[in-house]
């Protein structure tokens, strides 16, 4: 229950919060559209038509997420493409560092990325104004294709156990790159960080809280890897 001493939730009247939320929506939107693009690219490596279609379905789901985030930016009177464009270098760097060499690596990347994004959305939701929060919670409802990925990865490991070692390494590399890019963003974007850490007149996490968030994200990543049959 809210005590009288707790500051009111952030509102878009606060210019720092507003800038931060717009940056946040921009980065999430770019993340979704670039995930969609990469999955479409990965689909070409699929070993058969059914797998290709499953990967295309995941790409389509990411596009649906993107649309919601973009529409919120439009609602806030921002040019969504201009806002997103600023974050292009981060994602292009990330994708360059983590180009899958086959469709299984592509699937693991989508699964890990999707899961991480959903966890992150859930973590930050509490610090957002109600409208942005419900949008973000809505977006994290997931692509709903995790069963397919789990079956495909476990099936491939069963056929050739060496695949498990390779994909486990791959998962660690993905997480490492994602955290490294996240740190760059936090370091470069004051307003965006303020959304998370809070400002003078709105609540946020303290540094210890951010540390705990990263621990939770890492633990959830490990659980996801385990579900795929991979050592985290």
- Triad 203, 207, 208: Cα angle to 5°: 105
Q: What is the DSSP string of 99-141?
A: --SSHHHHHHHHHHHHHHHHHHHHHHHTTS-HHHHHHHHHHTT
Assess 84 for contact with a second copy (CB under 8 A): yes
Binding window for a second copy (CB under 8 A); candidates: 81-89, 118-126, 147-155, 188-196: 81-89
Q: Which of 19, 60, 193, 218 binds a second copy (CB under 8 A)?
A: 60
Which tokens in the block code for residue 119?
């966890």
Assess 214 for contact with a second copy (CB under 8 A): no
**Least CB distance from residue 81 to a second copy, whole Å?**
4
Assess 212 for contact with a second copy (CB under 8 A): no
Mention every residue, 6+ apart, whose C-beta is less than 8 A from residue 71: none
Q: Which of 16, 45, 57, 205 binds a second copy (CB under 8 A)?
A: 57
Assess 36 for contact with a second copy (CB under 8 A): yes
Q: Which of 11, 85, 141, 215 binds a second copy (CB under 8 A)?
A: 85
Assess 145 for contact with a second copy (CB under 8 A): no
Nearest partner of 213 among 193, 191, 184, 188, judged by Cα: 193
Assess 45 for contact with a second copy (CB under 8 A): no
**Least CB distance from residue 63 to a second copy, whole Å?**
5
Q: Is 97 exposed, middle or buried (0-12, 13-18, 19+ CB in 10 A)?
A: middle
Sign of CA dihedral 125, 129, 132, 135: positive
State which residue, 142 or 203, has the beta carbon closest to a second copy: 142
**Least CB distance from residue 107 to a second copy, whole Å?**
17
State which residue, 92 or 138, has the beta carbon closest to a second copy: 92
Give the Cα separation of 183 and 162 in Å (integer).
32
Give the Cα separation of 14 and 36 in Å (integer).
33
State which residue, 80 or 204, has the beta carbon closest to a second copy: 80
Footprint on this chain of a second copy (rule: CB under 8 A)? 33, 36-37, 40-41, 43-44, 48-50, 52-53, 56-57, 59-60, 63-64, 66-67, 70, 81, 84-85, 88
């Amino acid at each position: 229950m809210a005590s009288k001493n707790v500051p009111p939730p952030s509102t878009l009247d606060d210019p720092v919060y507003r800038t931060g939320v717009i940056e946040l929506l921009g980065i999430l939107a770019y993340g979704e559209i670039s995930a969609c693009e990469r999955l479409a690219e990965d689909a070409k490596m699929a070993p058969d038509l059914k797998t290709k279609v499953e990967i295309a379905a995941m790409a389509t789901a990411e596009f649906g997420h993107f649309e919601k985030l973009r529409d919120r930016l439009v609602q806030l009177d921002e040019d969504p493409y201009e806002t997103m464009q600023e974050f292009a270098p981060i994602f292009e760097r990330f994708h360059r560092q983590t180009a899958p060499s086959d469709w299984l690596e592509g699937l693991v990347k989508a699964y890990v990325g999707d899961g991480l994004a959903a966890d992150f959305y859930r973590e930050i939701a509490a610090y957002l104004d109600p409208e942005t929060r419900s949008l973000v919670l809505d977006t994290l409802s997931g692509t709903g294709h995790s069963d397919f990925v789990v079956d495909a990865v476990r099936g491939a490991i069963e056929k050739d156990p060496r695949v498990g070692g390779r994909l486990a390494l791959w998962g660690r590399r993905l997480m490492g790159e994602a955290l490294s890019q996240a740190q760059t963003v936090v370091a470069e974007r004051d307003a965006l960080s303020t959304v998370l850490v809070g400002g003078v007149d709105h609540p946020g996490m303290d540094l210890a809280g951010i540390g705990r968030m990263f621990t939770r994200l890492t633990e959830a990543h490990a659980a996801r890897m385990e579900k795929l049959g991979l050592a985290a």
